[in-house]
Amino acid sequence: MRMIVVTPSKVGSFVLLEDNVVGNGNGLVHLIQKGSVQARTKDLQPIFFEWPKIKSRFLLALGRTGCQLKSLALVRTSGKGYFRPFPMTINASDTLTLFEEFVVPTYGRYDIVLVRGRGSRVWDEAGKEYLDFGAGIAVSALGHAHPRMIEALDRQARELIHTSNLYYTRPQGELAGQLVEIVGAPGKIFFSNSGAEANEAAIKLARKFGNECSGPLPDGKPRFEILTFHRSFHGRTMAGISATGQEKVKHGFEPLLPGFKHLPFNDLQAVENAISSETVGILIEPVQGEGGVYPATNEFLLGLRRICDQHGLLLMLDEIQCGLGRLGNWCGWKQIVNEGLVPDTISWAKGIGGGFPLGATWIRKTPVHSLTGGAMDLCDLLQPGTHGTTFGGTPLACATSLAVFKTIEQEGLIENARNQGDYAKRQLSVLPGIKEVRGMGLMLGIELGGEFAPLAADGKTPSHVAAVRSMRNGLLTVPAGPLVLRWLPPLNVSQAEIDEAVSILAKTLDEIQPR
């Protein structure tokens, strides 16, 4: 256990020594200030600290009171009940202080500073090790610091990092070919940098299709409406939040982009009823991720294809989280449907670059009748000048992504995702406190039992409380909904790592279980 001793330079002075500290036996230290501390420091007490949060929280608290730190000494217990001091200086470069002061607070961050990763593990700046079962929210497909990714990054960076899309580059062409191959149906790729942008391209395509191919309505207006689903998540741009089926992402950003209608998930009848003469497409995550890990059913996906065919609509899959191997198949939807289903667009990001930012939108090669240009293919509808992005598909991003694809293939990681996912599901399903384990492959939603509901406090959900305690116990996970924890480990996670994670989760649930 460690504590901090502070000597501020102004606003009185306070010195916190051993007799100000009460350990609660849980790794937490309760600091109580002494008499020499002046009134302006009243914000400081009582504060619970846990290393490494202690120094940053202390700095923030001091910042609020107007104190400036001259020096800090860190004191640590030997574990035998006495404190052994060693000097340490904390200055303005303290990471959490930098964030507090300079970074827009759009994220509710966990209070650890990660500095290093290898495989399925990461380390914080205090040297504590964590099993990373969030993998950067389904991004680090090969885990951290995979040698083949490093080699590809290094090799391509020495050749050519960026040129813009004014020119041809080999890695972009090869990666497009690779993506079309895994879909198994003819199409073309538009490259971008993120999931929101991948969806944006699909949404713009649908608008163009509605404007130029599907015929004006009797009143002369084009078709433009896209159906999406409750609990869905499609990104944080204006189009992304308008498409998303969760109120919380929209609040305060009105007016939203018009033309999105949200329907109950897995309810074909609701879709049939919602189709109007304005409808132009249906956008769906085959497994909803942020919304709580809810898979679409086989019947639902096949039914959507049928409805799209009947009404001349685009079927647009958002595979940003569930695609590219995570469900145990290159194409997430193929892990769900039991017969051939060809979508009209597919959006990818996250795992596609193994951590290097990249987004991609597959567009089907299927004939459409442009009102202006006669017959053409859907994948050629976005002509020069209609859409673009400076960074989309740089040689560096594409060469790295190609290395990720090759490694997934050569190391058998799709099969590993399937096997380890099945194994994890079996182990998790029998843990006390778990109501249900949803999902497939390495995209698992662990729903906690209703007995954890009372943990909700101060705007924090029970899943957040569980994620924080799990982190303290050495396992990183991602909440998805009030009672759901998500496991999204690297695709090369081992069975031993799953066992370790299961036992940390079991310990965590036992610790936080309301009694």
Ligand X SMILES: Cc1ncc(COP(=O)(O)O)c(C=O)c1O
Contacting positions for ligand X (CB under 6 A): 137, 194-196, 199, 233-235, 285, 289-290, 318, 320-321, 349
DSSP strands (E only) in 265-422: 279-284, 287-288, 294-295, 314-318, 345-348, 359-364, 367-370, 374-377
Residue nearer to ligand X on the CB measure, 236 or 507 = 236
97 vs 194, which CB is nearer to ligand X? 194
Residue 426 phi/psi, 5° resolution?
-65, -45
CB of 231 to ligand X, least distance (A): 11
What stretches of 89-137 adopt beta strand conformation (E)?
114-118, 121-124, 129-132
Q: Which of 312, 482 has the CB closer to ligand X?
A: 482
Query: Cβ closer to ligand X: 51 or 330?
Result: 330
Amino acid letter for position 440? M
| Nearer Cβ to ligand X (398/455) | 398
Shortest CB 316 distance to ligand X, Å = 11
How many other CB atoms sit within 10 Å of the CB of residue 41?
22
- Angle, helices 413-429/395-410, rounded to nearest 10 degrees: 70
What is the residue whose two structure tokens read 């944006």?
200
Cis omega (within 30 of 0) on the bond before 147? Answer: no
- Beta carbons of 92 and 132 less than 8 angstroms apart: no
The alpha-carbon radius of gyration of the chain (Å, integer) is: 26
**Is the Cβ of residue 94 or residue 319 nearer to ligand X in the bound state?**
319
3-state helix, strand, coil in the chain (%, to 5): 35, 25, 40
Q: Which is nearer to ligand X, 349 or 396 (CB)?
A: 349
CA 473 to the chain's CA centroid: 21
Rounded to a whole number of angstroms, the minimum distance from the CB of residue 238 to ligand X is 12
At its nearest, how many Å lie between ligand X and the CB of residue 123? 25
Compute the least distance from the CB of residue 391 to ligand X, in Å.
13
Q: What's the closest the beta carbon of residue 97 comes to ligand X, in angstroms?
A: 27
Helix (H, G, I), strand (E, B) or coil at 136: helix
- CB-nearest residue to ligand X: 195
Q: How far is the CB of 194 from ligand X (least distance, A)?
A: 4
d(CA 206, CA 59): 50
- Tell me the closest approach of the beta carbon of residue 193 to ligand X, in angstroms: 8
Of 310, 295, 237, 309, whose CA–CA distance to 265 is shortest?
A: 295
Residue in this structure with the two tokens 């001259």, named with its chain if needed: 70
How far is 140 from 146, CA to CA, in rounded Å? 10
Q: Report the Cα–Cα distance between both ends of the chain, in Å, rounded.
A: 27
Residue type at 457 in one-letter notation: A
- The minimum distance between CB 324 and ligand X, in angstroms, equals 12
Place of tokens 């062409």: 173
CA distance 514 to 497: 28
- Three-state secondary structure of 216-246: CCCCCCCCCEEEEECCCCCCCCHHHHHHCCC
Amino acid at 217: L
317 or 506, CB closer to ligand X? 317
- Nearest approach, Cβ of residue 236 and ligand X (Å): 6
Rounded to 5 degrees, what angle do the CA atoms 477, 482, 486 make? Answer: 25
Classify burial at 496, counting beta carbons within 10 Å of its beta carbon; exposed 0-12, middle 13-18, buried 19 or more: exposed
Nearer to ligand X, 33 or 199 (CB): 199
State in angstroms the smallest separation of the CB of 349 from ligand X: 4
Nearer to ligand X by C-beta: 124 or 285?
A: 285
User: Taking the complex as a whole, how short is the minimal distance between the CB of residue 288 and ligand X, in angstroms?
Assistant: 7
440-475: burial string, b at 16+ Cβ within 10 Å, e else: bbbbbbbbbeeebeebeeeeebbbbbbbbbbbbbbb
Closest CA to 321 of 195, 492, 189: 195
How far apart are CB 323 and ligand X at their closest, in Å?
Answer: 9
For ligand X, the closer of residues 136 and 171 by Cβ is 136
* Cβ-based nearer residue to ligand X, 194 or 242: 194
**Residue 290 or 447 having the CB closest to ligand X:** 290
Helix (H) or strand (E) holding 420: helix 413-429
